[in-house]
Every structure is written in structure tokens, then in C-alpha cells.
């Protein structure tokens, strides 16, 4: 992509995501420094047998994949009619239940899933505000994007309740894995490992749709983006705010430039 293309016509989806996430993470960092006590640096959580806990996560993940196949084959709750978004949300909870319930089953506390109990309302409000910042940045730099107000209206429509819950469950799953893997590997290696794992998770879907070599190479950008996001997220130890940003950015592929492929 030439400089003229970037400056004159906006960025592609991947680069717009990178810019939006980067600026939003920096905004969070400034807010965290100014709002004393809301995001104190969390102490690393230790486990008597960290690799055993990673193993429990992987076992729970197998059940998640199995329930996911039930959903794909329409064997979970049928989502039809006016209650379809609510049923979609319940289905997502059912799919991720084995992983999300792991801290409860293992009696390890919700802090080990980056769900701190203090001042949740403030964390959520910060997340909503930061998600709007992220959407504004994305729609400002993304080539061919629809106007910010129109995109936000579509993103936060009740029809997306299932996606909203899915993103929350995904973020909690990432937190659960990260905390346990960090106890086994240390911080730096865990950041890289988790970022690479979740970028690689897209490979089967890309191959199934006949992705080009260039599209597969885009996973390198995804991994780099994951490293940056995890660097900030582990400093917060808090999914409550990030969930909203992640949801908004995920929805950009559907509403910012409908029908776009790049």
C-alpha cells in the first residue's frame, strides 16, 4: 500500500483496526493513570500446579468445541422470532460455559478470569466510552467507511446481543488461559504465545474459504495486534472495559464498510 493510498483514500481493514486499537489502548493508559485506584497493577496469580491448570483449560476447551458443533448443526436452542437475539445470547453462554465456569469449578476466584468485583459500573462506563473512541478512529481512517453515527447505531443494535455475549465469553476465555499460562511460562512468553495461538485459530476458517497467501499473511498482523492488546490488557487485569472495545471493533467488519473484502 503506497503512502498516497493511505493518506488520500484511507486504510484497509487490518491497518484501520491496528490504528484504532493502538490509539484506544493509549487512551486507556492515560485514563488509568489519572483515575487512581480503578486499575491498580494486578499481582500475578500463582497456582500450585500451573500446567495442570492449563490442562484443565484445554479440557474445558474441548467441551466448548463440542458444544459449538451442536450449535453449528442447529442442535441448541432454536433462535427464531422476536426473541432470537436473546436466544442467540443464551446459546453463546451454553457454548462457552465449560471454560467460563472454570474459575468457579476450580475455586480460584473471578480475578483469575480478569473479572474484578470492585467498581464494575465505572469499568463498564469507561469501556463504553473507549469503544466509541475506537469506533470513531476506525471510521475516520477506514477506506470507504460509513459515517460514525450510522455505524454506532448499527453496532449497538439489540440484534447483536448474541455477538455481544460471544465477545465477552471469548475475552474471559483468553483471560483464563493467559493467567494460567503466565504462571507456567512467565509474562513475555505468554503474551507472544497467546497472541499467536488466537491468530492461528483463524487458519482453518480461512483455508475453508479458499484464502489467498496474502490473506494468510495477514495473520502476522493479527498476532502483532494481539501482542499489543495483551500488553495493555494484562496491565489492567480487567475484561469489563476491554469487552466493549473488542465488541465494537469486531462489528466493524459488518457495519463500517458493508460488503467490503479488504
Q: In this model, does residue 199 exceed pLDDT 90?
A: no
Confidence (pLDDT) at 259: 59
Q: Nearest to residue 33, comparing CAs of 244, 235, 245? A: 235
Q: Nearest to residue 169, comparing CAs of 84, 68, 83, 75? A: 68
Q: Counting Cβ atoms within 10 Å, is residue 98 exposed (0-12), middle (13-18) or buried (19+)?
A: buried
Q: pLDDT band for 210, please (50, 70, 90 cuts).
A: low
Can you say whether residue 39 is alpha, beta or left, with left for phi > 0 and alpha for psi between -120 and 50 degrees?
Answer: beta
How distant, in Å, are the alpha carbons of 89, 108, 126, 170, 229 from that of 119?
25, 20, 11, 22, 22
Q: Counting Cβ atoms within 10 Å, is residue 82 exposed (0-12), middle (13-18) or buried (19+)?
A: exposed
Average pLDDT over residues 219-234: 90
Least confident of 48-52, 139-143, 218-222, 234-238: 218-222
Residues 193, 183 contacting (CB under 8 angstroms): no
Global confidence as pTM: 0.90
Residue 106 in 3-state DSSP?
coil
Q: Nearest to residue 53, comparing CAs of 193, 169, 177, 198? A: 177
Amino acid at each position: 500500500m503506497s503512502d498516497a493510498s493511505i493518506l488520500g483514500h484511507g486504510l484497509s481493514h487490518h491497518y484501520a483496526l491496528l490504528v484504532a486499537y493502538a490509539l484506544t489502548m493509549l487512551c486507556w493508559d492515560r485514563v488509568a493513570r489519572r483515575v487512581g485506584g480503578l486499575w491498580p497493577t494486578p499481582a500475578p496469580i500463582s497456582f500450585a500446579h500451573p500446567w495442570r491448570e492449563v490442562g484443565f483449560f484445554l479440557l474445558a476447551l474441548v467441551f466448548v468445541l463440542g458444544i459449538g458443533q451442536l450449535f453449528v448443526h442447529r442442535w441448541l436452542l432454536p433462535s427464531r422470532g422476536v426473541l432470537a437475539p436473546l436466544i442467540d445470547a443464551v446459546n453463546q453462554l451454553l457454548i462457552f460455559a465449560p471454560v467460563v465456569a472454570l474459575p468457579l469449578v476450580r475455586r480460584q476466584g473471578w480475578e483469575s478470569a480478569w473479572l474484578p468485583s470492585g467498581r464494575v459500573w465505572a469499568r463498564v462506563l469507561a469501556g463504553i466510552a473507549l469503544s466509541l473512541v475506537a469506533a470513531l478512529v476506525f471510521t475516520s481512517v477506514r477506506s470507504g467507511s460509513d459515517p460514525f453515527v450510522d455505524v454506532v447505531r448499527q453496532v449497538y443494535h439489540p440484534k447483536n446481543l448474541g455477538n455481544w455475549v460471544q465477545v465477552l465469553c471469548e475475552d474471559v476465555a483468553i483471560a483464563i488461559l493467559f493467567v494460567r499460562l503466565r504462571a507456567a511460562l512467565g509474562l513475555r512468553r505468554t503474551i507472544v504465545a497467546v497472541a499467536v495461538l488466537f491468530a492461528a485459530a483463524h487458519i482453518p476458517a480461512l483455508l475453508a474459504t479458499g484464502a489467498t497467501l496474502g490473506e494468510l499473511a495477514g495473520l502476522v498482523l493479527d498476532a502483532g495486534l494481539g501482542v499489543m492488546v495483551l500488553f495493555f490488557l494484562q496491565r489492567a487485569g480487567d475484561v469489563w472495559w476491554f469487552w466493549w472495545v473488542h465488541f465494537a471493533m469486531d462489528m466493524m467488519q459488518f457495519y463500517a464498510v458493508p460488503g467490503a473484502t479488504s
